[in-house]
Chains A and B, each alone.
Chain A
Amino acid sequence: MSFLRHGYVTGPLIGALWMVITGFTVAVVLSFSTGEPFRPVFWACLVWGALMWVPASRRAGPIGALIGGLVLLAATLLGVGPVVVGAEVSGLTAAITGLALALATMVPLRHMLTELPLGAATRHAFEHAVIRFLTGAGYVIFTALVAIPFYVMVMTSLKNQQQLVQNPLDFSIDLTRGWDLLSSYVELFADFGFGGYLWTSFYVSVLTVLITLLFSVPGAYAVARLRFTGRTVFSRSILLIYMVPMIVLALPIYIAFSMTGLRNTITGIVLIYPVTTIPVALYMLQGYFRGLPAEVEEAGLMDGLTRLRVIWKITLPLSLPALASVSLYVFMIAWNEFLLAFMLLDDPSKFTLTRGVAMLNSSEIPRQHLMAGAVIATVPIMALFLGLEKFMTKGLTAGAVKG
């Protein structure tokens, strides 16, 4: 291990690995945004990256880094760099590739290697360099892995069949098509009734939230504040109950709904959704209620309020943030719910949004429609999430024992 702790070993190693990451990232990003062929060469990445250690190291200074970047640019233009540009790619794009590669490699690499001497390094200097490399690599890889599917989802929905078949790598937007870009969405709303699905999903989710709160607030209060025999057993069984997998319950529910005629009705869905969320909400809320000072409530009791008035006048106003978190979380569960909607709804006029998107997954319906449906299902919940992120993350951490 200790021979690793030398600038001339660690430096080239980090440089080589970093170059592999930047090489592949630049190639993927440019491929996806222009649709033209870019090919990272693994061995060339390793070699170039190892070499770049010299100009990026502390001794070389900014001038050295600049020279290193220019060499990378020139190598890319000459076709011997870490990323080989296809023959049909224009000179400008090739230059942009080289420039992006030079910047993405040299600037972070210099930062990673600032503390690293050329010769023997202290443990601190070595580990800092490694941590900086891991951090940089982590940002790039995580962001790419998370962002690419969503990017592809949105871009595919803006394409037409012909473009998709022609080049599956081309995710650039052809602005000359104008409003035609949104044709998949127009078709979904006009011919597939997605407006109706959106509305159904919305009011089913809102009703679910309301019913859930109506049931879980008193329940959570009782578990958190009141003393009664069986309290511990009850709060444990709540946890147990929401560990029961939905697929196990879905079968008898399907049978019961088939027999009572509740299958294929929105009423059935609204009846069943809250029950799946009540245990989670109860669990989350009782945790919060326990954290509230009991003295305020006792003062209310002394002043002659009944327990129910205390809940209404004191506990609930104090726990508004928790109620917001729980509501958002329950709304998210109901909005994203797929299994029950899929099993219980067959009639296209009564679909929720997730069921509607599942309907689009057929070989007769083009992919861009499916992706447009996915975007329609994702955007509202994302907007809600980004707008109220504070509450949402709180809700997730409080209740997210559920998956």
Chain B
Amino acid sequence: MTDITPSKTPPRGHGPLARREARLAWGLLLPTILSVSLVVVLPLLSIFWISFKPIGLADLRPPVPVAREDLRDAGEASQHVRYRLQNRSQDKPITDVVLTDTLPEGVTAGTLPEQCALDGAALTCIIGTLDPKARLTLELPVTFAAGFDAEALEDAIEDETEALATGKADNILTNAEFTFENFARIFDDDEFLAVLWATVFYTVVGTVGALVVGLFAALLLNKEFKGQGLLRGLYLFPYVAPVIAVSFTWVILLDPFSGSVNALLVQMGLADAPINFFGERPLALIMVTVFEIWRYFPLSFLFILARMQSIDTDMYEAADMDGASPFQQFWYLSVPQLLGILSVLFLLRFIWTFNKFDDIFLLTGGNAGTRTLTVNVYEQAFAVSNIGAGAAVAVVVFCVLLVFSIFFLKYVSREEGL
């Protein structure tokens, strides 16, 4: 008989049930993890990789040999097919170049060039290395069999059976060439400080502005009246509408030549001449920030209103009885209650404003001192066609963001109990 003594401590480790539950959980999460890592984590890693690469937009495709063929001296004794090969790259050699072609029926090859071999109708020429900018010509004497139309054969040689050339070239994306030039370039850039300043201004003023305006809007709508729902819906419009629609409307509205706002300002005598809102420093930066506030105040307004409506009204009644004035009630009762949501909103909006790209890109294209870090990513990669520098800016953006996020997680996870 075994002596069963009950354990003094609860069982430790994972039982089979717990393991089964964990397995199920990972199974349910697997599709998400796979897809997200494929599209988020992998690109993030690759952007770090690319940022150390000297790569431009044109380097995305590795160089390939180009082959052309034509029939020379047709009908004469020296009749031959001429193959011309070319490496169009300015600086990269192509190795293991092979030319293949099929001779149409009725065409007989004469003496083959030394690199070539003929297997039935299939011609294979092993060429080896083509240096940068190199050209190579091969001549293959041919005779036409009797009973075939020479014209048709010429067409068949030149058009129907294409000569194909393949080769290997060093791909800049995968080789072991690294450089710090991208980072040096973006940090040395005269504009870098201006970019940083635009980013900081846009992010801080945009975030605080949207919060303050949102708080004001929430105070306006935090009472029951006819049409309250309608007005609330209307105030959400800027956020719900596609950015492309509203930003183009702003551009047209504020256009210096034919915009209504300028016409209005001139007519009212508030401005002597039309103002180029999105084209002048520092007005352009102010205007894109105003746009940001206009477009995102609905979000903070929605959050703050939801929080306000959940505050107990008893407290205000008690304060009323004690003789607190409306401003005192707002300052000593509402604000402390709203502080939590305001700080969460601030952090979130701060990060998202920092990330913002579309709005500025559509309004000014990053001109007139409105180039923020995110717009700079696009500018470097596509406008200047330097993918490496673009990636380097993206890495900077990501690192700044990581710092924010750590701060955010420390703070918000306490607020939201995550």
Contact = CB atoms under 8 A, between A and B. Distances in A.
Interface stretch (A87-95, A99-107, A353-361): A353-361
Nearest to B21: A226
Residue from B240, B262, B294, B413 having most chain A Cβ neighbours under 10 A: B240
A152 B398 contact: no
B241 interface: yes
Interface in A364-391: 367, 370-371, 373-375, 377-378, 381-382, 385-386, 389
B25 A249 contact: no
A332 B250 CA distance: 21
B231 A143 contact: yes
Contacts of A219: 28-29, 31-32
Interface stretch (A9-17, A52-60, A134-142, A188-196): A134-142
Interface in A121-145: 123-124, 127-128, 131, 135, 138-139, 142-143, 145
B1 interface: no
A310 to B, nearest CB: 11
Interface string B378-418: 10010000010011001001100100110011001100001
What secondary structure prevails in chain B residues at the interface with A? helix
Interface stretch (B3-11, B41-49, B145-153): B41-49
Interface string B1-44: 00000000000000000100110111011011001101110111
Interface in B87-129: none
B268 A244 contact: no
A252 interface: yes
A278 interface: yes
Contact of B248 (A229, A234, A371): A371
Nearest to A259: B60
A142 B248 contact: no
Interface in A321-343: 332, 335-336, 338-339
B137 interface: no
Interface string B253-266: 10000111011100
B237 A253 contact: no
B36 to A, nearest CB: 6
B241 A39 contact: no
A226 B356 contact: no
Contacts of B408: 243
A245 B325 contact: no
B296 interface: yes
A28 interface: yes
A169 B245 contact: no
Contacts of B46: 252, 255-256
A352 B347 CA distance: 33
B164 interface: no
B351 interface: yes
B248 A370 contact: yes
B313 interface: no
A401 B242 CA distance: 18
B282 interface: no
B50 A252 contact: yes
A394 B296 CA distance: 17
Interface residues of A, number: 106
A32 interface: yes
Interface residues of B, number: 97
A146 interface: yes
B263 A168 contact: yes
Interface stretch (B63-71, B76-84, B299-307): B299-307
Given A234-B29, A385-B240, A39 B18 contact: no
A186 B236 CA distance: 29
A240 B352 CA distance: 12
A142 B296 contact: no
What secondary structure prevails in chain A residues at the interface with B? helix
A173 to B, nearest CB: 15
Interface in B172-221: 173, 216-217, 219-220
Contacts of B349: 403
Contacts of A392: 240
A278 B32 contact: yes
A177 interface: no
Given A145-B294, A240-B409, A249-B44, A278 B302 contact: no
Given A169-B264, A234-B29, A377-B244, A146 B238 contact: yes
Contact of A215 (B35, B303, B390): B35
Nearest to B259: A168
Nearest to A150: B237
A215 B40 contact: no
Contact of A401 (B244, B260, B348, B354): B348
A241 to B, nearest CB: 5
A361 B166 CA distance: 42
Contact of B258 (A165, A226, A401): A165
A138 to B, nearest CB: 5
Contact of B237 (A124, A146, A335): A146
Contacts of B327: 127, 131
B272 to A, nearest CB: 14
A135 B356 CA distance: 32
Contact of B234 (A143, A165, A377): A143
B36 A279 contact: yes
A389 B220 CA distance: 19
Contacts of B245: 153, 357, 373-375, 377-378
A393 to B, nearest CB: 6
A378 B241 contact: yes
B270 to A, nearest CB: 9
Contacts of A278: 32, 35-36
B367 interface: no
Contact of B377 (A169, A248, A336, A385): A248
A37 B265 CA distance: 11
Contact of A147 (B25, B40, B234, B244): B234
A309 interface: no
A139 B220 contact: yes
Interface in A7-34: 24, 27-28, 31-32
A239 interface: yes
6 contacts: A138-B220, A252-B44, A279-B36, A336-B244, A385-B233, A386-B233
Interface of B: 18, 21-22, 24-26, 28-29, 31-32, 35-36, 38-40, 42-44, 46-47, 50, 60-61, 173, 216-217, 219-220, 229, 231-246, 248-250, 252-253, 258-260, 262-264, 267-269, 294, 296, 299, 302-303, 306, 325-327, 348-349, 351-358, 362, 374, 377-378, 381, 387, 390-391, 394, 397-398, 401, 404-405, 408-409, 412-413, 418
Given A131-B326, A258-B61, 14 more contacts: A123-B325, A131-B327, A226-B28, A227-B18, A236-B413, A246-B357, A255-B46, A307-B24, A371-B252, A374-B248, A374-B249, A378-B242, A393-B236, A403-B296
